[in-house]
Amino acid sequence: MGDTRARVWVGIDVGKAHHWASAVDDTGAQVWSKKIDNDETVILTAIGEALQLAEQASWAVDISGATSALLLALLAAHGQQAVYVPGRTVNRMAGAYRGEGKTDARDAFVIAETARQRRDLAAVDVPAQLAADLTLLTGHRTDLVADRVRLVNRLRDMLTGIFPALERAFDYSNHKGALVLLTGYQTPGALRGRGRARLTAWLTRRGVRGADTVAATALEAAQAQQTALPGEKVAAQIVADLAAQILALDDRLKHTDKQIAETFRTHPQAQIIESLPGIGPILGAEFVVAVGDLAAYRDAGHLASAAGVVPVPRDSGRRTGNLHRPKRYSRRLRRVFYLSAQTSIIRDGPNRDFYRKKRGEGLKHVQAVIALARRRVDVLWALLRDKRIFTATPPAAQGT
């Protein structure tokens, strides 16, 4: 191992099956490099070896998600703090060193060197139980929504191939009655054979709202197509199966949304976050997951920058005042503020007034929503700082 040093920086290239760790001293010389299986015993052994290298060890990882969860938890259990080095940064820093090869060992060395040279890297904290639960639930919900979009697109494509008139008749992404209809009837002949009265009764028994309207629309589409297309029978079976899957997925989404809402509302600041117009339990949970520890942001400006709602300058020479959209920011956090801002302008109030003001100044819709999102960052920051809920009328200023 060599003589004990004052400090080493340990960079870890994270992987699913194994990680690679590399340590450098204060001169940038590599003093340790090792492949580590993603196993508790092996990781603990490696942590012990690294801590013997110097009086102090600083840790850095390139992934802070599920892949590194065990590693980060074991580091935290031993009082070790890790920082996060983004993959983009690792890629660019690698170009500053000799050689063109790319290996896990080289990446780990670059991560360690980056941590040694920079002092502005964000710390990676092991989330508390509540934050961990919300992370898992919101991630699961995102997957379910993506699955639903895929199934709806597949259903529309399949239905277009055998019954284009019915495909055009309903918006299957948000019409439950149309999906219930497709679980039983998918072809023009089947709909015409059922008739309006019996079809309405069939839909009513399955709890479809406006069953008569759905039946009338479907039969109108059926009368517009008298030709049976090739593959109709097999395609009809697939359409029925897809519709049933979407309905089942909707039930899973409702259950997941209920879980997220119940879990989020146990957060000590949930009432404050949810009081801001446009933010409900789902976006509130996304905010908690994306922000993590609010103490990591010095002020509202830093939070807005992390959310990507602050333009960045690109000046050079005499060219000044060039502001552009940032490229490095939290997509998840930007989504929270953008969607909540867009939702808040539906109803009358200060949010809608501010949006209309920006539109009056000549901003396009997206620009005005981003401007509103930036203002809402300041508002939410102040609410969390002062521990009070949102009110349409600002509180009176306290005298000094």
Pairing of strands 5-13, 18-24: antiparallel
Q: What is the pLDDT of residues 202-216, one digit of tens each?
A: 999 999 999 999 999
CA torsion sign for 228, 230, 234, 235 is negative
Per-residue confidence (pLDDT) for residue 1, from 0 to 100: 47
Tokens of 216: 């009338």
Provide the CB-side half-sphere exposure for 220 (13 A, CA). 10
Question: What's the rounded Cα separation, in Å, for the pair 101 and 103?
Answer: 7
Q: What is the pLDDT of residues 339-380, one digit of tens each?
A: 999 999 999 999 999 999 999 999 999 999 999 999 999 999
Q: What is the pLDDT of residues 298-331, one digit of tens each?
A: 889 989 998 998 888 877 777 777 777 788 888 9
Question: What's the rounded Cα separation, in Å, for the pair 266 and 55?
Answer: 41
pLDDT at residue 2 is higher than 80: no
Per-residue confidence (pLDDT) for residue 123, from 0 to 100: 84
Nearest to 354 by CA among 333, 331, 378: 378
Q: What is the pLDDT of residues 280-289, one digit of tens each?
A: 999 999 999 9
